[in-house]
Amino acid sequence: MKTAVLIPCYNEAKTIGRVVADFKEKMPHADIYVYDNNSTDNTAELAEQAGAIVRYEHKQGKGNVVRTMFREVDADCYVMVDGDDTYPADFGPRLEQLVLSGKADMAVGDRLSSTYFTENKRPFHNFGNVLVRRMINFLFRAKLNDIMTGARAFSKDFVKSFPVISKGFEIETEMTIFALDNNFAIKEVPIAYQDRPQGSESKLNTYSDGLKVLKTIVNLFKDTKPLAFFSILSLILLLISFGFFLPILIQFVQTGIVDKFPTLIVISALTVIALLNFFCGVILSVLKKQHRQNFERQLTVLHELARLKQEDAH
């Protein structure tokens, strides 16, 4: 069974050598790939000196790097970690074991149940992690602890069927929602977290990247649960319509007169839009079900091709 350690990097010269060395020590059997994303320092050179296989992705953004890594690397287990030395390498074998034993399609290193809130010195990041966790657990009826961790391991089925849409740091949220929506097995393991070492700077922008994550959640909720999404929109429009219609109805009952025809026309239009939204949700949910059926068939084909490949190898 082949394991690949994937490390997306952008200007991590201060830490990448140590990260590669730690994983070579903890997982000597694994191939370690460092994907450099237009670094302006000597990240790539230091990674190569430490023994990593260095490749490049010139489209900026972590999501773009993950797309290329998943397409180019072939393995049975993929361990992904950031190059900032915030995750001790000893989490790798634990997540790897869960994937290779078939217990997880995505094994997650859970920072939030461990040392994250004491080590991380950025309060808005703490708040954002909790907010995103609560939103996803509520919208997708899950009980996950850490949505945005950069420490993960994946099965081959997950990697080769995951269509990367995000370009930046919202990629972790997209992975989680994809796993939940397609019934992949998710396991979480509490892991230690340490803040970046002195002189190493985070590439995250608290506000702009936070807004991108929230936008990603809304869009993926719409795409994966269209009936629920459009039903909520329809309900909001109907409540607004009813709020404006109620005074008109009371006046008509009391006086037999309707003198707010423009308001009544707008209410009628909102009601029609609400009904159209609901039926759009119904139609899209049928299409989503068909897409899910096709996805399961594609997974079956992937398994069959893998079996035939193994038979040919023997």
φ, ψ at 258 (rounded to 5°): -120, 110
Kindly report, residue by residue over 1-16, the tens digit of the pLDDT. Answer: 899 999 999 999 999 9
Q: 195 pLDDT band (50/70/90 cuts)?
A: confident
Kindly report, residue by residue over 227-249, the tens digit of the pLDDT. Answer: 999 999 999 999 999 999 999 88
CATH of domain 3-221: 3.90.550.10
CA dihedral sign of residues 146, 152, 154, 158:
positive
**Locate tokens 């970690």: which residue?**
81
214 pLDDT above the threshold of 90: no
Domain boundaries, the chain: 3-221, 226-313
Cβ proximity of 193 and 119 under 8 Å: yes
What pLDDT, on a 0 to 100 scale, did the predictor assign at position 123? Answer: 64
CA dihedral sign of residues 210, 7, 47, 116:
positive
121 pLDDT above the threshold of 70: no
Q: 124 pLDDT band (50/70/90 cuts)?
A: low
Kindly report, residue by residue over 6-52, the tens digit of the pLDDT. Answer: 999 999 999 999 999 999 999 999 999 999 999 999 999 999 999 99
User: What is the model's pTM?
Assistant: 0.82
**Locate tokens 């370690």: which residue?**
32
130 pLDDT above the threshold of 90: no
What pLDDT, on a 0 to 100 scale, did the predictor assign at position 202? Answer: 64
Closest CA to 164 of 78, 68, 79, 99: 68
Cβ proximity of 70 and 160 under 8 Å: yes
Closest CA to 227 of 292, 306, 173, 280: 280
196 pLDDT above the threshold of 80: no
**Locate tokens 């005074």: which residue?**
247
78 pLDDT above the threshold of 90: yes
What pLDDT, on a 0 to 100 scale, did the predictor assign at position 28? Answer: 95
Kindly report, residue by residue over 141-179, the tens digit of the pLDDT. Answer: 999 999 989 899 999 999 999 999 888 888 999 999 999
Paired tokens of 93: 């074998």
What is the mean predicted confidence (pLDDT) over 64-85?
A: 94
What pLDDT, on a 0 to 100 scale, did the predictor assign at position 89? Answer: 93
Closest CA to 138 of 209, 216, 221: 221
Question: Is beta strand 31-36 parallel, antiparallel or unpaired with respect to 77-80?
Answer: unpaired
